[in-house]
Structure 1
Amino acid sequence: MEHVITRTAKTASPATSVQSTHSKQLAEQHPHPFSTEDLSIYYGSFEAVKKVNLAFPEQTVTALIGPSGCGKSTFLRSLNRMNDEIASSSTTGHIWMDGQDLTAPETDVIKLRQQIGMVWQRPNPFYKSIYNNIAFGPKYRGVRKKKQLDEIVESSLRKAALWDEVKDRLHDSALALSGGQQQRLCIARALSVEPKILLLDEPASALDPVSTGKVEELITELKKELRIVIVTHNMQQAARISDYTAYFYVGSLVEHGKTNDIFTNPENELTQEYIMGRFG
């Protein structure tokens, strides 16, 4: 079964993307990819995302780019069923992970969100200590031994490149951290339950350049263990950190391929115009 829509012809419209040799090879290399199949998302009768087929290989970063309102954040939120929290939202199509259809009504959404972590645009630490922000998820899963919790907290903060900065104030409020530190704390919190996939919705858009650089370095390091999907409006950021790029326009997936190809030789005129800054 194919799950990837990728490079398109220059004459193609946003809704008429075609399969390529690249997509077939990708599917063959990853027989049970994390992927979507004809995924459409509605708000009431409005179709915000239109039959998107996209696969995310292991140990890669996929950047979702496109103008504001094009559906990329809606698509991202659908991947761990966060759109379920919106009363008017509905979904058709499929989201596959390890052969399981995540859109099935019997899916345990709580367990799903442990496997597919989410970090939002603005840092949202809990009104708790740094330690308890990280320990919250493991405690919910039943971890009670302090030694085990201590190990998880330290490991998660190390993975988020934050341990050395906070190890002497773990019991201080997380709200006392800088914005960049709070965002890395939120990443550490997501990592504490050992997800397979990490979803990032413009994680550096509210940060200063130094903090942005640290988050980008962190993403590059984390992809050694995780699939990462990131929404970004920053074209330079997408070019720096992603392996694959998917360009969305008015709810459709226009073009998908290796990031270098998308940025240096896009096959769709809409992609080229967006990357060159002619609109969006």
Structure 2
Amino acid sequence: MTRVALGVSYSGQGYNGWQSQPSGNTIQDKLEAALSRFAAQPVHTLCAGRTDAGVHGLMQVVHFDTPLNRTPSSWVRGTNTFLPTDIAVQWARPVPDGFHARASAVARRYAYVLLQSPVRPSVDAGRVGWVFQPLDHGAMQQAADHLLGEHDFTSFRASACQAHTPVKTLHRITITRRGADAVAQAPCYWRFEFEANAFLHHMIRNIMGCLIAVGQGSRPPAWMAQVLAARSRDAAAPTFSPDGLYFLGPVYDAAWGLPDRTPAYDWLP
């Protein structure tokens, strides 16, 4: 048996999340169906991190075991032949048996892309979140800094979360603004980038709701520390839209020799 790792990108708009469901309308269902057709036998995958309905993936990583001996380019092109146009395998690599897409990841990365504009999104509808009020960059970054390090993130955890513990370590939250920097109320895009050892269900979308509340001035930056300390979902803002959330991919030790980015990184605002 050979263990193969794949890097997969997808638009989550038309799917019920990553994890397989009876409906068959998930990214995992579509990928496994395509792999099985190409391999002419059932193929089952394990992923680095499950994404919710509407959430996009720039470099989801999966692995599977197969008795077939095929080149990496063959796995890419052959599988993509049977995938919908909004899902694509970006790369394939043979990996040692000790590699595990989820367990071998030392961190995970997400980005949230947000449009600030008086007018709702059009060509990027479903691919960006949206606010129509101006945001305060400095206030949001101050609020975000309260979350860095190891904490109990119960306040940002969905009720359906299946994680064994709410304690996670947030390594980085970076907030950047693209366009019209000199005019506070001009339309622009914001990019919020998160890196942690792992994330809870809806954790980023719940953090985003709080960051936007701070950015719009309805809460002070110090409120984020109060929400964190409360360890209660009721203390935080409502869950924000999934539309602008992108799974950038897991982080692995360089010894595995896997790519750490795809071309889509250069397209994302």
Global fold match (TM > 0.5): no
Higher helix share: 1
Q: Which has the higher contact order (CA 8 A, sep 6+)?
A: 1
User: Which band: TM-score by shorter chain?
Assistant: under 0.3
